[in-house]
Amino acid sequence: MALLEVSGLTRDFGGLRAVSNVSFRVEAGEILGLIGPNGAGKTTVFNLITGFLQPSAGDIRLNGESIVGLKPHAVTRRGTARTFQIVKPFPHLTVHENVALAAFVRLGVRAAADVEALRLLQQLGLADKMHTRASELTLNHQKRVEIARALATGPKLLLLDEPLGALDKKLREATQFQLINIQEQLGVTFIVVTHDQEEAMTLATRIGVMNRGEIVQIGTPTEIYEFPQNKFVADFIGSVNMFEGTMIEDLPDHVRIKSDELGATIYVDHGISAAPGAIVYTAIRPEKINILRQPPENTAENCAKGVVKDIAYMGDMSIYLVKIESGKTVRVTLPNIERLSDDERILWDETVWLTWHASSPVVVTQ
């Protein structure tokens, strides 16, 4: 039995349908990430699970029992906790007092609550701030205090709404791994709402991608990134080059797609579910494309000639924007494995050929 089971969840606000027939299961001990653009329905799903809103239709079961109709405090007593996008630690209390108070509500013993608070503060890198009043903290630290307070209540299910949104890059990366370690140690099940794809890919064991109130795909980070089921997921998750084309050959072990946007034929070494003549979209990730100074032997398939129009050196990798002969701009990322001089690097305004392996493209029909 799943820890949480959501079935046919729907929520209407007047004539607007914010969540439409959403269903998913969350197993004990996993981390589910809900991601999507603003207005996709992520926070509404959170509010429905935690009792801040009631569904127009559908059911929500926690440990096999329906929690539809329960108020937020009653849902909390069933073993849930949540954090909010806007953090509100008690400003007049210290960091330790904020967390210890939450632990005391659960444990009922001051000494035990103090020990529990200190343990969580150490795990979240806040021990050096334990005697600082919450009002004196940066937003970065307040966010982590909010997470520590939620964990101090001992939940079986913790719902995190944009938990790392206010953190700077280095602190965000550190906190991601701290949360993963805490989750493994305590066995708490997480649901994380975020608009940050990198955050979801790092934290989550499974990801649900939402758009217009629906979950359009749910799977592991690898499945979501490498095998998107539709054009929206392919375009939303990470960077991608999308080419519209027409199916001209459809066999069980390969397909060929004629793409005017590419100015060549795309060969894919696996079959797809589309009839010859169908309009399809081929998605190719920037890191799966090679840049050559000389044309390959076969330029008719999986190849495009272009001119480098822009380069961004990112340290660990470089991003190339190449304008191909059809007029479309293609994004390519290459790892900076070797230390090369500017004379050895591909530079602006160079003519290049872009190629990729036949297994790299993902073809979607919608």
CATH level 3 topology of 239-364: OB fold (Dihydrolipoamide Acetyltransferase, E2P) (2.40.50)
pTM of the model: 0.90
Q: What is the pLDDT along the chain (366 residues), one digit of tens a residue?
A: 799 999 999 999 988 999 999 999 999 999 999 999 989 999 999 999 999 999 999 999 999 999 999 999 999 999 999 988 888 889 999 999 999 999 999 999 999 999 999 999 998 889 999 999 999 998 888 888 999 999 999 999 999 988 877 677 787 888 888 888 888 888 899 999 988 888 899 899 999 999 999 999 999 999 999 999 999 999 999 899 999 999 999 888 899 999 999 999 999 998 787 777 889 999 999 999 999 999 999 899 999 999 999 999 998 899 999 999 999 999 999 998 888 766 778 999 999 999 999 999 999 988
pLDDT of residue 338: 83
- pLDDT (tens digit, 9 = 90+) per residue, 255-307? 999 999 999 999 999 878 777 788 999 999 999 999 999 999 989 999 999 99
Taking the domain 4-231, which CATH number applies? 3.40.50.300
Domain extent listing, the chain: 4-231, 239-364
- pLDDT (tens digit, 9 = 90+) per residue, 225-242? 999 999 999 999 989 999
Q: Distance (Å, rounded) from C-alpha 269 to C-alpha 274?
A: 15
